[in-house]
A and B are shown apart, each in its own frame.
Chain A
Amino acid sequence: MSEDLTLNDIQHDMQGALLNPSECSDVFIHYVKPSARLSARAHLGIYQESYRMRLQQCMAVQFAALKYALGDELFQLFVDQYIQAYPSDSYSLNHLGQHFACFLEETRPDAKRPVRENWPDFMIELADFEFSLNRLFDLEADDEGDVATEADFDEQLKLLPVFALFQHQFPIMDYYQRYNNDERPELPFPKQSCSIVIRHRYRLGLFDLNFSQYRFLELLKKEGSIDQAKQAMQGLFGCEQSELDAMWLQWRKKWIALGFFRK
């Protein structure tokens, strides 16, 4: 044991032993005192095992539906590899899974095959969706404003401060909701889907949309007013004013009831 060993050396070597046990444990083990009941390696092993399991548990909370979809064993395997590839660099555990969807894309098993399988796309979309829910849940915003009613004019309607629109190749929202309702859903076939997640009074609401509704809300988000969103819809799809007005009246009633708008 070197007498020149500094605090810095010890910490770097211990972190190495936690993050890369097979490669770095042999150096660090010489710093550890055995005890009456445990060898130095057994003492270190407690930290190594806890590091892996602690982050596994946190990822399982953040990606509960994905864990169900992949199965416990495959999920753990992916998480172990993910933590190795993207060790946490944030003091906040809420950021732990921020690169997980990207990691699944980078490491998809069919990456080099000429024909790609469907299921990795589903898992990647689901991972991205679950992490987005976490992000929306904690976003800084005041949810206390007055909710719009049907008596309010279109000019008064504003989308809630926290919401996100999603367009997926798979029915992600449906799968997620069925998982949450303990319906044990099967892996779905590809099917284009659109949805919106809103945060209303600090709680998240998940709603399916059809493609027209998705496009309209996307334009509303961009343009800022109902009138401008309608004009943009007409420009894009060439639909009749009367047809659009009739659709808007239906959407308006439903979305106001669901709490999409503030005034």
Chain B
Amino acid sequence: MSIRAVLDQTQADMGLGLGLRSQHFNHIMQHKPDVDWFEIISENFMDSGGRPRHILRRIRADYPIVMHGVSLSIGSTDPLDAEYLTCLKALIDEVEPTWVSDHLCWTGVLSLNTHDLLPLPLSEECLLHVIERIDYVQEVIQRPLVLENPSTYLSFHQSTIPEWEFFTALIEKTGCKMLLDVNNVYVSAFNNDFDPVTYIKGLPHASIMQMHLAGHQCCGDYIIDTHDSQVTEAVWKLFNLAWHLTGGVSTSLEWDGNIPSFQVYHQELLKAKQFMQALPKDGLSKDCVLSNRALVSGVSVESPVVANPIDFVVSDIKSELVS
């Protein structure tokens, strides 16, 4: 069976999922909450032979799992990391996730890792480079690679292809799929002066496997994708648009900083149901979505905020000691 054929089998809408966070392990094990599926950060479990991997095995017995990575570095000009791919494949074989995703980004060169999802100059050269690497990764993992649009804080003079067209070309050439992070579209659009509605309308909707929702922080002249709060009204509006254009796909909520109780996290996800209703009669325009710009520029954040926070990925040993 070809990889493209495998891709077509995995497009079922799984409903509403949550990011699996270690802070919620005990609650999930004890209460087996009514969540359709969980999304794991692949790197949290790839090298773990301890409690995280043990818990994952138990949760996998009760829930479908989707794997979401942050270190594939599909756009880097360094060779793909063979050790990383081997560990990723081993985890895939064990977990049997519904699909495997990562980001359209690069994380480092010269064998270093900045642990950030860095932006790519979206050029013809870059497109060919990423196509070649997606083909290779899909051969290794023998299944779809689902790529997410990252939140970006700069754009390049060298970029010649709008991001939505770049994704369209990647999907057309490789058969890969897309994870549409609606919050990231909003953040990137604000930071880089493009229209989020045009972006979402311009995507190949049939190839969107999953959507992400998350909260962000307004820092006056720019927005940071902090994953540490509730989803904003503007992002819900974009989700409403994307939901209708895609016909509805699996959707998950990411909450990585100031992680709340499981109940609060779950309730925020369930708000998505309200935005699966009909589109507003007058449609959705750029002005409608970005109408809070005036509000945004007036907000000041007291403490510094971090884009793509990842400290939750590091094991918090303090809470794992036997007293």
Contacts and interface: CB of A to CB of B under 8 A. Distances in A.
Interface of A: 1, 5-8, 10-12, 14-15, 18-19, 30-33, 35-38, 40, 42-44, 46-47, 49-51, 53-55, 57-58, 60-62, 64, 87-94, 96, 130, 133-134, 136-141, 143, 162, 180, 199-200, 202-206
B320 A96 contact: no
B317 A204 contact: yes
Nearest 6 pairs between A and B by C-beta? Answer: A140-B49, A43-B154, A202-B51, A91-B71, A57-B311, A37-B221
Contacts of B108: 15, 88
Nearest to A202: B51
A141 B315 contact: no
Contact of B121 (A10, A60, A93): A10
Nearest to B77: A8
Given A91-B81, A94-B47, A50 B109 contact: no
B321 interface: yes
28 contacts: A6-B125, A8-B77, A10-B156, A11-B77, A11-B109, A12-B109, A14-B118, A31-B156, A32-B157, A33-B154, A33-B155, A35-B193, A43-B155, A43-B191, A57-B310, A57-B311, A58-B314, A61-B315, A89-B113, A93-B115, A93-B314, A94-B314, A137-B317, A138-B47, A140-B49, A140-B50, A200-B322, A204-B322
B137 interface: no
B106 interface: yes
Nearest to A11: B109
Interface stretch (B28-36, B266-274, B300-308): B300-308
B1 interface: no
A72 to B, nearest CB: 13
Contact of B222 (A31, A40, A46, A92): A46
Interface residues of B, number: 64
Contacts of B126: 7
B54 A143 contact: yes
Given A11-B76, A62-B314, 15 more contacts: A5-B158, A11-B118, A15-B110, A31-B156, A32-B155, A35-B192, A54-B306, A54-B310, A55-B115, A88-B115, A92-B46, A92-B47, A133-B317, A202-B54, A203-B320
A93 B43 CA distance: 8
Contacts of A18: 114, 116
A47 B121 contact: no
Nearest to B46: A92
B264 interface: no
B317 A89 contact: no
Contacts of B84: 91
A205 B191 contact: no
Nearest to A162: B50
B246 interface: no
B97 interface: no
Contacts of B52: 138
Nearest to A179: B318
A64 B318 CA distance: 9
Contacts of B123: 7
A199 B52 CA distance: 13
Nearest to B225: A50
B161 to A, nearest CB: 13
Contacts of A15: 108-110, 112, 114
Contacts of A200: 322
Contacts of B110: 12, 15
Contact of B49 (A8, A43, A47, A138): A138
A174 to B, nearest CB: 14
Given A7-B125, A138-B48, A57 B156 contact: no
Nearest to B307: A50
Nearest to B129: A7
Nearest to B52: A138
Contacts of A206: 321
Given A88-B113, A91-B81, A61 B308 contact: no
A54 B49 contact: no
B193 A204 contact: no
A45 to B, nearest CB: 9
A61 B125 CA distance: 39
Q: Max chain B CB contacts within 10 Å: which of A10, A133, A162, A200?
A: A10
